[in-house]
Structure 1
Amino acid sequence: MFQLIATPSNALADEPVSIRAIGLPPSQMVTIKATLKDEKENLFQSKAFYKANEAGEVDLEQASSLGGDYVGVHPMGLFWSLKPKRAFQRLIKKDVINSPFCITLDLYDSVIIQDTVTTPPKASQIVQRWFAGPGVQREQIREGRVRGALFLPPGKGPFPGIIDLFGSYGGLFEFRASLLASHGFAVMALAYFAYEDLPDTLLVEDLDYFEEAANFLLAHPKIQQPGIGVISLSKGADIGLAMACYLKQVVATVCINGFSIVFDIPLRYRDLVVTPIQLALERTEVHVSGAVRLRHYTDDSSNKLNPQNILPIEKAQGKILFIVGENDECLDSKANAQRALDQLRRHGRSNGRMLAYPGAGHIIEPPFSPHCFASWHSVLGKPLLWGGDPIAHAAAQEHSWREILKFFRQHLLHSGSKL
């Protein structure tokens, strides 16, 4: 009798799942298909073809996919290869506390090429992927100008505090903050435009706002003193690096695929205003997918730099971890990180390091997240190309997440603390 077993079937979204099919005829060709609907009923699907061994089993930790959405031995391939039915959709969990993503795994006793399947599966299994562990609490934050959501681990604390910043989409993204809180950190997902009563568009990077957020976090009774961390992606990484440079409250910063210069939007902090470098948009390209490729538009920045455009990274007192995808089609994030590290070195500083991932794209997220090659950008009103080879990108997400957790544990925890 055909059986499909997924273990654990109910776990955090960053935990691996073991998938096995048993009770098959020896050498039977099968298709395993994964289906997920997001909170707006958008459909995401993936599939892979396998051949049963002589015992009539397929174990994804050992068996090689012979085709479908990936080839080779990839135990979590059905998760990170989930693709939207409708082009340019990005899978984002909105309600991270009350409901999981439910992924349906279906087993078929043949090679199913078409996406539309009329025959019923021989076996099925539902896997629940949660973004907050047991006991993690969410607090809505509306304090002064600061808007966001604070996730607190179970227990009395105090916990090491982190601010979580996403990019030029605007709004509030909570899934990374809630996952980090599930690992023992107190994390504030921070909105900075296009959310509640914040400005609709980002006209200035106002560091006073981010300092207000840092001070709010440090004043919270469950937050460990004396400093906080920042994790940041894309435009958020530009801001995260500026926070590391100017704010003494920030002692550990993760910058994922961002600039090391003031780019496109002016930076303001107290009496300081830094004019950004502006580039002509005629350098953009349209990829065969229809998405806009920005990399050449942003790559030209090094030819037009003035010293005042460059963030003074040598002023950063804390540790900085740059995470870059070498196949980032949005910007040359590796060159930006290298520029910052060279600047540190020239000033005799060694508080920064870089993890560069060949084949990884722009949107590096927690492990097993579907690879997003391109998605609709509501602010720009067009799809953007993010890049990345799916297999290499998935490996980068797994490795970088372990390194992020290790980095924050090392640089935010008091000696003697355990996490």
Structure 2
Amino acid sequence: MCFVLISESMSAQVRLRLLPSVRCLFDEPIQVKVAGLRSKQVVTMRASSTDERGLVFNSSASYRADDRGEIDLKRDAALSGSYVGVEPMGLLRSLKADVLHKYFYKNRALEPFMVKLSVHDEEGRKLAEATNERRLIGDGVSRVPVKKGNIQGVLFIPPGEGPFPAVLDLCTIMSEKRASLLANKGFMVLALPVFIDKPNFERMNLDDFEEAVRFLQNQPKASSKGVGVISRSKGGDIALSLAAFVQGVEAVVWINGCSANVAIPLYYKNRQILSPLMFNLSKVLPTESGAKLVKYVLEDPLAEENQGSVIPIERADGQFLFVASEDDLNWDSKGYLDHMVERLKRHGKKNFESVTYPAAGHLLEPPYGPHCPSSFHETVRFPVVWGGEPKAHAAAELHLWKKMRDFLLAHLSCSAAHTQIL
């Protein structure tokens, strides 16, 4: 239990508690409770956080206290504000900047996600406040920068002797968030960006990513000869290509990607193995917010002229988890998922499972972070809409977070003793 009172303007009777503690991991929920209010008093709960680029994000919601002058966000409905209804973590999910099209950058594992929460009366006076420290890296997890050959990433190793399931986390732009959080759950994870600098549209070498697979296989604490791969967006087609062409990939989590090789010719062992599925930027559509809708800019991978870009996933021996958001406004992820499922079935393959989220958007991330409806796209160089009904998107992230871990654990070899602690 924790409460913080920092100025004379705040009521000595009002207490803001964050349970079970003010400190937790990024992917853990907290219970927010207020006590010491008047019976039926209406107050405003506020949250504020600053991202790694110095941009401030805020949210707020009004609540009415019960007969005892208490509010419990796990039980009580927000009356108005950034959201309405019962959302225990709504203040975090709804954090947004004052300017449009901003993504909350929280990608460095060593810096916690700090959220200031406060209670205000109807005149705006602050009654109480507390700070939630949400850590990305748990006690005992090792963070090891890796710069070896063509590998430029960060390796996260859980505490203990292992062995640990080994996972390659392919992030389009470098982020340590998902990798460090998975390491907290007992996985050894190498976070590796698809693009280190600006994309080279002339060629991409699958050999560079195979090098990362071999690096993980050779780690002394790795628990199996094979590795898992997690991917989203452009990383999705790289993950599929690894499964199809490279030995040792036992499990692939494909999230909101494409069934074909997107935009850049793919080479392996100095020969082109996949042609690029190209963009048609004339299909970009404007929206009222000023961000662009790019869902339809990719050419059809099923068209005859694009067959050379389609990834032959039927060659893969490993297992697939296909994840698609039906409100993905970046790519037609559900269509690509259906294409892959049909292709595998046609080849008599059963090494896959799939999950779809009807109202979620493109940016499925670890749970309890701010929802991002639109932001600047690093590749096309203008703001785009990502999609997702905020509450449903948050629920999808929570469901996927457990689903993904269970899938990787089921298909990556590890000892029985280790399985019990995950």
CA deviations over 1:116-175 (Å, ceiling 9, x no partner): xxx4410101000100100111111111111100001111122111011122xx3x2111
The residue number in structure 2 matching 1:205 is 204
Percent sequence identity is: 39
Q: Distance in 1 between matches of 2:300 and 2:210?
A: 31
SS state at 2:108 partner: coil
In the TM superposition, what is the alpha-carbon distance from 1:361 to its structure 2 partner? 0.3
In the TM superposition, what is the alpha-carbon distance from 1:85 to its structure 2 partner? 2.4
Q: Distance in 2 between matches of 1:94 and 1:366?
A: 12
Q: Partner letter of residue 274 of structure 1?
A: L
Q: Partner letter of residue 36 of structure 1?
A: S
In the TM superposition, what is the alpha-carbon distance from 1:303 to its structure 2 partner? 4.2
The residue number in structure 2 matching 1:191 is 193
Q: Distance in 2 between matches of 1:141 and 1:201?
A: 22
CA deviations over 1:148-206 (Å, ceiling 9, x no partner): 00001111122111011122xx3x211110000011001000123334xxx65354331
In the TM superposition, what is the alpha-carbon distance from 1:299 to its structure 2 partner? 6.7
Aligned structure 1 segments of 4 or more residues deviating by more than 6 angstroms: none
Report the more deviating stretch, 273-282 or 29-38.
273-282
CA deviations over 1:243-269 (Å, ceiling 9, x no partner): 122122110110110001122221212
Q: Partner letter of residue 86 of structure 1?
A: V
The 1:33–1:304 alpha-carbon spacing in structure 2 relative to 1, beyond 3 Å, is farther
Answering whether residue 115 of structure 2 is matched by residue 103 of structure 1, we say yes
SS state at 1:298 partner: coil
Q: Partner letter of residue 376 of structure 2?
A: W
SS state at 1:335 partner: helix
SS state at 1:134 partner: coil
Correspondence 1:234-249 to 2 at 5 A: 234-249=233-248
Correspondence 1:292-311 to 2 at 5 A: 292-298=292-298, 300-303=300-303, 306-311=306-311
The residue number in structure 2 matching 1:330 is 330
The residue number in structure 2 matching 1:19 is 32
The residue number in structure 2 matching 1:134 is 139
Answering whether residue 73 of structure 2 is matched by residue 60 of structure 1, we say yes
Correspondence 1:248-259 to 2 at 5 A: 248-259=247-258
Q: Distance in 1 between matches of 2:279 and 2:210?
A: 29
Q: Distance in 2 between matches of 1:50 and 1:203?
A: 55
State how many pairs are aligned: 405
The 1:228–1:93 alpha-carbon spacing in structure 2 relative to 1, beyond 3 Å, is same
8 Å Cα contact 1:294-1:331 kept in structure 2: yes
The residue number in structure 2 matching 1:162 is 167
The residue number in structure 1 matching 2:410 is 410
Which among 178, 181, 191 is matched to residue 179 of structure 1? 181
SS state at 1:409 partner: helix
The residue number in structure 2 matching 1:33 is 46
Q: Distance in 2 between matches of 1:378 and 1:312?
A: 28
Q: Partner letter of residue 193 of structure 1?
A: F
Q: Partner letter of residue 30 of structure 1?
A: V
Q: Distance in 1 between matches of 2:177 and 2:218?
A: 24
The residue number in structure 1 matching 2:261 is 262
Q: Partner letter of residue 204 of structure 2?
A: E
Q: Distance in 2 between matches of 1:408 and 1:209?
A: 23
Q: Distance in 1 between matches of 2:193 and 2:333?
A: 23
CA deviations over 1:222-252 (Å, ceiling 9, x no partner): 2222100001111111111111221221101
- What runs of 5+ residues in structure 2 fail to find an aligned partner? 1-12
- Report the TM-score when normalising by structure 1: 0.93
Which among 151, 154, 157 is matched to residue 149 of structure 1? 154
Q: Distance in 1 between matches of 2:201 and 2:368?
A: 31
Correspondence 1:50-89 to 2 at 5 A: 50-89=63-102
Correspondence 1:209-224 to 2 at 5 A: 209-224=208-223
8 Å Cα contact 2:74-2:88 kept in structure 1: yes
Q: Distance in 2 between matches of 1:415 and 1:244?
A: 24
The residue number in structure 2 matching 1:115 is none
Q: Distance in 1 between matches of 2:234 and 2:287?
A: 22
The residue number in structure 1 matching 2:3 is none
SS state at 1:46 partner: strand
Q: Distance in 2 between matches of 1:173 and 1:202?
A: 22
Correspondence 1:380-391 to 2 at 5 A: 380-391=380-391
The residue number in structure 1 matching 2:356 is 356
Q: Distance in 2 between matches of 1:389 and 1:304?
A: 35
CA deviations over 1:58-83 (Å, ceiling 9, x no partner): 11111011111111111011111111
Q: Partner letter of residue 34 of structure 1?
A: A
Q: Partner letter of residue 184 of structure 1?
A: G
Q: Distance in 2 between matches of 1:305 and 1:3?
A: 65
Q: Distance in 1 between matches of 2:204 and 2:64?
A: 54
8 Å Cα contact 1:237-1:258 kept in structure 2: yes
The residue number in structure 1 matching 2:7 is none
CA deviations over 1:8-44 (Å, ceiling 9, x no partner): 2101000001001111111111110100012232101
Which among 103, 122, 128 is matched to residue 123 of structure 1? 128
The 1:209–1:71 alpha-carbon spacing in structure 2 relative to 1, beyond 3 Å, is same
In the TM superposition, what is the alpha-carbon distance from 1:273 to its structure 2 partner? 2.7
Q: Distance in 2 between matches of 1:203 and 1:190?
A: 21
In the TM superposition, what is the alpha-carbon distance from 1:108 to its structure 2 partner? 1.1
Q: Distance in 2 between matches of 1:235 and 1:241?
A: 10
Q: Distance in 2 between matches of 1:242 and 1:225?
A: 21
SS state at 2:221 partner: coil
8 Å Cα contact 2:17-2:34 kept in structure 1: yes
Q: Distance in 2 between matches of 1:297 and 1:104?
A: 40
Q: Partner letter of residue 190 of structure 1?
A: L
In the TM superposition, what is the alpha-carbon distance from 1:2 to its structure 2 partner? 1.3
8 Å Cα contact 1:43-1:86 kept in structure 2: no
